[in-house]
Chains A and B, each alone.
Chain A
């Protein structure tokens, strides 16, 4: 099983600043990585797929990068509505697909 490790567990950022979230895979997953945004009380929502492709409905201030074992989600010009838990997920190996434990993004 591929283990996904996210850091930090909690990130507190002021509005207008940038947030950088990290995700590390226990083995290479090429670019087979997705990011999800889960707001309080809601289902997760696909944010990034293929490590860097933005899903429908998300603005350009959300960007993903990385390949292999190291991945980054960057949110620029942070807004209050970005308050959420962000999960990474690998789909390189479906035995099983695995998620990181999440990074909680707080707005100062």
Chain B
């Protein structure tokens, strides 16, 4: 049973860099895309981007200039960095397995951007 455990700083000031990590337990890291999705308070879901074990990356054009997704195959972990955050980046951030449809999700990390 694959499980995703995610962590990272929950409170940021404007202009700082959001940094989140997701660890994959109980399953293969290779052969899948690994994704990040976010959900602003009371709103719907927004796909941020995905990366596979070969380093192939697809990013939402609206966030592409600020987003970095990376993988650490030795630790079965993948990470998200979002630079120059503003209040509009306040959201619950989820990691998930799969590009296209996402079949395993982390529990989410609440990130608040406030001065």
Residues of A within 8 A of B (CB): 1, 32, 34, 36, 42-46, 49-50, 55-56, 87, 89, 91, 94-102
Contacts and interface: CB of A to CB of B under 8 A. Distances in A.
Contacts of A87: 44-45
B44 A44 contact: no
Measured as residues with beta carbon below 8 angstroms from the partner, the interface class of chain B is 20 to 34
A91 B60 CA distance: 13
A36 B105 CA distance: 11
Interface in B53-74: 58-62
A98 to B, nearest CB: 7
Given A43-B105, A91-B101, A99 B61 contact: no
A24 B102 CA distance: 20
Given A44-B94, A87-B45, A101-B44, A94 B101 contact: no
Taking chain B's interface residues, is the majority helix, strand, or loop, or is none over half, making it mixed? loop
Nearest to A6: B44
Contact of B101 (A1, A34, A101, A102): A34
Given A49-B103, A97-B47, 7 more contacts: A42-B107, A91-B101, A95-B58, A96-B59, A96-B62, A97-B99, A98-B47
Taking chain A's interface residues, is the majority helix, strand, or loop, or is none over half, making it mixed? loop
Contacts of A50: 101
Interface in B4-63: 37, 44-47, 50, 58-62
A46 B100 contact: no
A95 B47 contact: no
A97 B100 contact: yes
Smallest CB-CB A-B distances: 6 pairs:
A91-B100, A34-B101, A96-B60, A49-B101, A43-B105, A97-B47
A43 B108 contact: yes
B55 to A, nearest CB: 16
B33 to A, nearest CB: 10
30 contacts: A32-B100, A34-B100, A34-B101, A43-B105, A43-B107, A44-B45, A44-B94, A44-B102, A44-B105, A46-B103, A46-B105, A56-B103, A87-B44, A89-B47, A89-B101, A91-B99, A91-B101, A94-B58, A95-B58, A96-B58, A96-B60, A96-B61, A96-B62, A97-B99, A97-B100, A98-B47, A99-B44, A99-B45, A99-B47, A102-B45
